[in-house]
A and B are shown apart, each in its own frame.
Chain A
């Protein structure tokens, strides 16, 4: 017997789940139904176009592609450009996490339904409508900041080889500072809402806790050391390697039943998803950053991380509640970082670019994006046209996790004789942080 679950809410990639049940055994497939096509789309393009083209993956890919151009041109952007790019990245972290948290909170009813009138039925959702409204109001604000910094919030424009393409204007400094301050205050309020209404127990917490988890190794990028680090499933730090080594250390695996390839650790090999051992598989994202177990540089975010550790114990964690909590931690971190960065002193300066004199042949870079570690490697010809492009994006890095989670959720649901729509809902929640 086969059942298809489609659509899955809140996923960026078109995907569906196919569940096969034979003699009590369950096999669930998480299928991404559109080819990736990235290399084909970019091969032959002028390399300077990559920040704009790859931004369709996520705004962080715009920033990373520009970083690769810096390396290709052998230049370091001036401080002003670095600050502008960093501020844009913090905006994108805030935006990404807030949208995910909005989706989570909107799961308890139709978020767009009109509120009941004075005599209407009382709203029984555990999330009051004003909470959703305020989340989206602040999403709008942070998108305004991202637009000021990046030209557009969804597909930014301003990061170019050696810096950024324009100075901010006079009115921008005050507006960015205002948004940064409002965002931090909001992150604190939202955190308290989660503590009081979600993490303290009740319907939402029960549901989050009931979603099965999958224990895998995780990968993160440390920009200070310029190293990618591997933490195994038991929480032990394993090897580190530089972005230059990434294409040697990681490899692709392809299955016929999904267009999305799987990234895995080459040294540990690819293990079939139905096997019990998945030493070669890993994941990236907020939970991977939690499992790295490093102090966070900003005060309030670090205090919140400690609160998480006190409540849930030392990392590693694999549960959905920990992933959601870590997004709250990073929301605070992004807010604090924006407050610190968004001053006229930091966002103004004499130069916005160091113009490259020539382009090399090969360059690569990694970035810890809101959705997790991402990596680009580009090889160009004599006219700086793209010959080869390798892009490790979060969807490929988390593909094994998504598939294993799908299998775990569906197997558990069928064991417990839960209806498919209930299992689908658990899966949608479980996939949200990935």
Chain B
């Protein structure tokens, strides 16, 4: 049985997602048992030319957000070259933390007052808005998280590369996945296109903190609050995005006393995570009069940067680019993508 050809690439982002794949190779099962790693610039120094000349890839994994024309071109090239394209991590899937710069007009983003000399070679053009990969090219699967956990990555590879040498650690892969995905990983077959390798419900469903239906009169800031170790953070007055965020992490952040910031994107059946949070958080206000509500709201700061910490570029209905439909004939032309146009 021929090994599947696997390509791995990061656009704009840290290399944590690629490190997670490398860790998987050493800590879970050697990837080379099931995959021919035909393109991995960060680790193997593979070039685009080599990729172009080689036969088609079965699976391409794109990590990182789309910040520059070069990122957009890379996403389009991988889409063209691979049968299946995976957006790996919060940056690729939703725009991630780099998406926060969409809150700032391009003219105000410069960190230097200095006007540089206009000499030397050109750079890839920075796009006006950071985008998630699915808003530029059709994506077949998403593995969310910042960085994604090993078991979901392993489940993805079991599904897409599935072959006898690779199928192992099934229970590890299936852990915290919905039944259909867990079964696909067990069988080593691809699940339905568009599947997200994570849970379906909200983080609250797997958070270990106790909810008491408690209401609050003032919004709290974590630096001034002595946390109650076991109680729901939202009910302690903190803004926690767990109620709108897809589960799968097992409440990792809330478990160590840090409010959820939504790195798995919105939960299934939620349209806009920010709108859901407005609704969920306001329902916990212990206020009846408009000025009491205004007081609580006034104590909250940076709601857009908090509610859409990882998803501003893709899931905020007022500011995001919608995903490209998987059924579309072809991805947008690289020139259009480079210019910053969403498909």
Contacts and interface: CB of A to CB of B under 8 A. Distances in A.
Interface stretch (B26-34, B154-162, B179-187, B317-325): B26-34
Interface in A147-169: 151-152, 154-155, 157-158, 160-162, 165-166
Given A35-B126, A140-B27, A151 B253 contact: yes
Contacts of A136: 22-23, 25-27
A136 B23 CA distance: 7
Given A41-B100, A114-B32, A34 B45 contact: no
Contacts of B14: 12, 56-57, 154
A263 B71 CA distance: 26
A359 B223 contact: yes
B147 A154 contact: yes
A contact patch SS: loop
B222 A160 contact: yes
A114 B122 CA distance: 40
How many chain A residues sit at the interface, stated as a range, is 35 or more
Contact of A34 (B68, B114, B120): B68
A35 B221 contact: no
A112 B23 contact: no
B290 interface: no
Contact of B302 (A12, A151, A385): A385
Nearest to B258: A157
Interface residues of B, number: 74
Given A40-B104, A384-B221, A34 B121 contact: no
Given A35-B109, A252-B112, A110 B229 contact: no
A44 B305 contact: yes
B117 interface: yes
Contacts of A35: 67-68, 109, 126
Contact of B301 (A11, A14, A253, A384): A384
Contact of A48 (B48, B117, B221): B221
Given A10-B42, A254-B114, 11 more contacts: A7-B46, A48-B223, A49-B261, A49-B305, A143-B23, A151-B256, A151-B258, A157-B253, A160-B258, A161-B223, A256-B119
Interface of A: 2, 6-12, 14, 18, 20, 29, 31, 33-49, 52-53, 56-57, 69, 73, 99, 106, 110-114, 133, 136-137, 139-140, 143, 151-152, 154-155, 157-158, 160-162, 165-166, 252-259, 261, 353, 355-357, 359, 383-385, 428
30 contacts: A6-B47, A6-B48, A7-B47, A14-B10, A14-B11, A33-B123, A37-B67, A45-B100, A45-B305, A49-B261, A53-B100, A57-B14, A112-B31, A112-B37, A136-B26, A139-B23, A140-B26, A151-B252, A152-B252, A154-B20, A158-B256, A158-B258, A161-B222, A162-B223, A252-B111, A256-B118, A257-B121, A355-B224, A359-B223, A384-B301
